[in-house]
Chains A and B, each alone.
Chain A
């Protein structure tokens, strides 16, 4: 009787042991795959948004004076910064910096349309409302931008972040 009980106990232990042996590597592999696909998704989202922004900027410029459009974006957490490089010589750039693939990567979207640098680099303070933003996430969540043409000396496109609209 005792021998029967011990046999079933050993069998139970063996089954549980085999199940754990299969489960632990599977969990490890799943975690790794999930982390990698998450970075790919974020990269895709940033690219899609950047292209949409540049497309809107170019459309507004060619529509001419008094053109305006709003662009919305659901920013993922890994974005650290967003800014415009404009006013220099050559192409203008819309840059999104994200922490991906173990380091900082700038997603740069180029355009030859003149962009007004007005309001540039103020987005982070706009966002936080006086509160220091987290170091690891410049901004995340839904955000809206207005893209409009402004005429000063010449026609330019201005990108502005909208809050509470």
Chain B
């Protein structure tokens, strides 16, 4: 008799508080779904270069569909070096999960004014804005997926047009923004 009573109260307890338990689980699930525990997403967008380069606009695009290699990175930068420069190359990289850098997009298609051209070899005048477009990048291979916020590093190699072409320099900048879906 006593055993039966204890079993009954146990069942009643579960029936009464089971719903509450399920609701709490659902609530926690909704919080995860809404990215509340993704602290990285709370950080503000950044596009930081040293003072020589001014970052005016940044967009990182990558599909979440497996096997698509249509990632793109668009940057609008301004030359603040105080002199005209000639771009000798540029590449984008992302640190992988082991912390090593993965270079995944080496050639930029640039447009500055009208028309498209490869940005390497272009002269970039002081104060001029240049549009850097890295397209057809394997963004998925380095873990850039739609909706995530990740660091992307851009390095530009250049020499000043007024100096010797042997004096090559690098300028590296960091872009931290949410990866968008391709349109």
Contact = CB atoms under 8 A, between A and B. Distances in A.
Interface residues of A, number: 30
Contact of A90 (B43, B162, B169, B171): B162
A105 interface: yes
Contact of B43 (A32, A85, A103, A104): A32
Contacts, number: 82
Interface residues of B, number: 29
Interface in B74-93: 81-83, 93
A58 interface: no
Interface string B105-117: 0000000000000
Interface string B163-182: 11011011111100000000
A101 interface: yes
Contacts of B167: 85, 88, 93
Interface string A23-67: 011001100100010011001101100000000000000000000
B164 A88 contact: yes
B42 interface: yes
B120 interface: no
Contacts of A101: 48-50, 153, 172-174
A107 B52 contact: yes
Contacts of B83: 91, 110
Contact of A28 (B39, B81, B153): B39
27 contacts: A25-B39, A28-B39, A29-B43, A36-B46, A36-B48, A44-B51, A47-B51, A88-B163, A88-B167, A90-B160, A90-B164, A91-B83, A91-B160, A91-B162, A101-B50, A101-B172, A102-B174, A103-B155, A103-B170, A104-B155, A105-B50, A106-B171, A107-B50, A107-B52, A110-B83, A110-B162, A110-B163
Interface of A: 24-25, 28-29, 32, 36, 39-40, 43-44, 46-47, 85, 88-93, 95, 100-108, 110
